[in-house]
Amino acid sequence: MMWTTLLLWLGALLSVSYAQLSETEGTGGEEEAVELFTTPRAKMAAATSDFGYNLFRALAGRDPKANVFLAPISISAVLTQLSMGASPDRSERWLYRALRYHTLQDPQLHDTLRDLLASLRAPGKGISIAARIYLARRLRLKPEYFGVVEKQYGVRPKALMGGAKDVNEINDWVKQQTGGKVDRFMSKPLGRNSGVVPLGAAYFKGKWITRFSQSGLMEDFQLDGEVPARIPMMQQDNYPVKMGVDPDLGCTIAQIQMQDDVSMFVFLPDDVTQNMTLVEESLTAEFVQDLSMTLHPVHVALTLPVLKFSYSTDLLPLLSDLGLAEFLADTDLTKITAQTVKLGSLNHKVVMEMAPEGTQYASSSQVHAPLSYRVDRPFLFLVRDEASGALLFIGRVVNPRKLRI
């Protein structure tokens, strides 16, 4: 197949070489890496990303054949709000460990996170994030907690009355925070024992730098063991990307630039397979940073699915995989209430759109032997804020036919 030939050619040209990376230690590239992880904001971004990759692995592992999506920064944000109500010696320590904050040694960590969140919310980056704690009124709540969180993060925890109105209240708030894009956040009433309900939601519509001139063509998306799905694709020749082949992971990686210092990394396995365990296992903030420095700028004929979907899930059962089993069994939130409490759920909903628009046109000059990068089979992608290194969004697309808006 032509693809195979291209791959071999590409492989020789673009092989992602970590050995090469370590040889260049002490050069400009290396200094950049050091810089990325030394400022408090970059360290915080790496911590929230690592938490996000861990959460993603837990979610992806639950259902290896499913599409899965996460905006982990919204979950970092809400669990950090929760940590402000935790007893410092136990619950706070467990939460900090899961959130990877124990590596930071940042006495100002709440200010660092607040500033990071503010920078990520810059309108040009295309992400809106909603994160808030809801609390059952019957818990005899300590009023100071509400003020502490509001002062730090600009969002006030909310006491729930109990009953059907709670769902409307929550859904209205999430919708308003996401510019109307995350609708019907909760589809069913809260459980009767829901004492503490943290939630995180996000909407992402990235804007490419380079636009796609063709969009909406129905093309085949290969599925593992099933007939292909016909889905709308966008296409552009001569598209500038950074690219590399990772023979160990068995995939070709492309980094596509978006506006306002955001980029999307696509991990496209060589074969049509749902099994992306190898890639999933390797994801860390450091790995993605190293990777970004080994990718090579090239121009390709780029084909991407035009995706538009929403995804919702309860992340609470995954927290025990992140070292929070003890916390869930013995949750003491002494700064919220003196009573024993249980987390009712950790609802997460994301909506994402990938549209063809961009501010620039690809150059029209002819390339002699054009490379192509066709994302027409199961793939993994992540969206990263390049300015800080923070992971904004991550997903595994196994079957686009099963995506729902």
Ligand X SMILES: *[C@@H]1O[C@H](CO)[C@@H](O)[C@H](O)[C@H]1NC(C)=O
Only one of the segments 92-100, 140-148, 274-282, 319-327 lies at the binding site for ligand X (rule: CB under 6 A); that segment is: 274-282
CB of 272 to ligand X, least distance (A): 13
| Residue 35 CB, nearest approach to ligand X (Å) | 34
Nearest distance in Å: CB 281, ligand X: 8
The interface with ligand X within residues 60-89 (CB under 6 A) comprises 64
What's the closest the beta carbon of residue 379 comes to ligand X, in angstroms? 15
Give the strand pairing for 347-360 and 308-314: antiparallel
DSSP states of 327-338 as a string?
Answer: HHHS---TTT-S
Element (H, E) at 2: helix 2-14
Residue with tokens 């992402």: 204
- Taking CB under 6 A as the binding criterion, the range among 28-36, 66-74, 272-280, 390-398 that sits at the site for ligand X is 272-280
State the nearest-atom distance from the C-beta of 59 to ligand X, in Å.
16
Which stretch in 180-188, 201-209, 223-231, 275-283 sits in contact with ligand X by CB under 6 A? 275-283
Q: Which is nearer to ligand X, 278 or 293 (CB)?
A: 278
Contact string 229-268 vs ligand X (x = CB under 6 A): ----------------------------------------
Cα–Cα distance list, 52 to 59, 108, 181, 248, 351 (Å): 10, 21, 22, 23, 17
Binding mask 178-217 for ligand X (x = CB under 6 A): ----------------------------------------
Closest CA to 132 of 175, 81, 64: 81
Rounded distance between C-alpha atoms, residue 234 and residue 219, angstroms: 10
Pairing between β-strand 347-360 and β-strand 196-210 as defined by DSSP bridges: parallel
**Given the complex with ligand X, which of 232 and 250 has the nearer CB atom?**
250
Task: Give yes or no for a contact between 234 and 214, defined as CB atoms under 8 angstroms apart.
Answer: yes
| Consecutive H or E run containing 36 | helix 28-36
- Which residue number, 22 or 277, has a Cβ lying nearer to ligand X? 277
Identity of the amino acid at 244: G
Nearer to ligand X, 277 or 340 (CB): 277
What is the SS3 string spanning 241-303?
Answer: EEEEEECCCCEEEEEEEECCCEEEEEEEECCCCCCCHHHHHHCCHHHHHHHHHHCEEEEEEEE
CB of 12 to ligand X, least distance (A): 24
Stretch that binds ligand X, among 188-196, 214-222, 257-265, 273-281 (CB under 6 A): 273-281
CB-CB contact of 381 with 394 (8 Å)? yes
Using the minimum distance from each CB to ligand X, give the nearer residue, 148 or 278: 278
Question: From the CB of 68, what's the least distance to ligand X, in Å?
Answer: 15
**Residue 225 CB, nearest distance to ligand X (Å)?**
12
282 is a contact residue toward ligand X (CB under 6 A): no
Whose Cβ is closer to ligand X: residue 224's or residue 261's? 224
Using rule CB under 6 A, residue 275 touches ligand X: yes
Residue 278 binds ligand X, judged by CB under 6 A: yes
Nearer to ligand X, 73 or 398 (CB): 398
CB of 231 to ligand X, least distance (A): 24
SS3 label, residue 349:
strand
Measured CA distances, 99 to 46, 79, 92, 250 (Å): 10, 8, 10, 30
Name 158's bridge partners: 134
Unique residue bearing structure tokens 């909603």? 130
Residues that bind ligand X (CB under 6 A): 64, 275, 277-278
